[in-house]
Each structure stands twice: as structure tokens, then as C-alpha cells.
């Protein structure tokens, strides 16, 4: 079982993170919370190689996309754009 902030690093069976889920649904407040905890993961390690930023843009959650661009780790953003 996961406890405390450790649960913020959860990945499902397709390797999606909480950042992926919040991005897919356009939940800006959840993204802000994850960022405040240092757990804003913008990576391609999911089964379909989709980053949270990819999901925001594809699903027209532009406010969330802007937040990720402004706040996600620069290295993860660079790899997401390759």
C-alpha cells in the first residue's frame, strides 16, 4: 500500500501517472497540487508514449497545458517535444 506523498507517484497498469489523469480531465487544481508537492511528472513512460502535455493539447485543456509548460521540469518538456 502507498502512504503519504509516496502515493503521488502512483502509476496504473498502462504507466499513467496522476499528472496524466489530471491533464486528461483538465483538472488544473490537481496539477497545481502535484506541483506544490514536487510530483508534477511530464514523461513519456506511459504505454502509448503520451505525455501529460500531449493529453492537455489533444483534449483542448489549454489552461492546463500552459501550466505544464510554465512549471514542469524543463528536461521532461524537452524530451516530450522530441
Asked if residues 44 and 51 have their Cβ atoms less than 8 Å apart, the reply is yes
The 10s digit of each residue's pLDDT in 6-24 is 788 888 888 888 899 999 9
25 pLDDT more than 90: yes
75 pLDDT more than 60: no
User: Which is more confidently placed, 36 or 40?
Assistant: 36
- At residue 9, the pLDDT reads 80
Cell of 68: 505544464
Q: What does the buried/exposed string (b/e) look like for 3-34 if buried means 16 or more CB atoms within 10 Å of the residue's CB? A: eeeeebeeeeeeebbbbbebbbebbbebbeeb
- At residue 26, the pLDDT reads 97
- At residue 38, the pLDDT reads 84
- At residue 6, the pLDDT reads 76
Q: Which residues pair with 11 in a beta bridge?
A: 17
State mean pLDDT over 26-44: 87
Asked if residues 37 and 10 have their Cβ atoms less than 8 Å apart, the reply is no
* pTM score: 0.79
Asked if residues 76 and 49 have their Cβ atoms less than 8 Å apart, the reply is no
Amino acid at each position: 500500500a502507498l502512504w503519504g506523498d509516496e502515493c503521488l507517484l502512483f502509476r496504473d497498469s498502462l504507466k499513467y501517472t496522476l499528472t496524466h489523469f489530471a491533464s486528461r480531465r483538465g483538472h488544473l487544481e490537481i496539477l497545481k497540487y502535484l506541483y506544490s508537492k514536487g510530483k508534477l511528472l511530464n514523461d513519456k513512460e506511459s504505454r502509448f508514449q503520451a505525455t501529460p502535455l500531449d493529453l492537455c493539447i489533444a483534449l483542448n485543456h489549454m489552461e492546463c497545458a500552459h501550466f505544464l509548460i510554465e512549471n514542469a521540469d524543463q528536461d521532461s518538456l524537452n524530451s516530450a517535444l522530441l
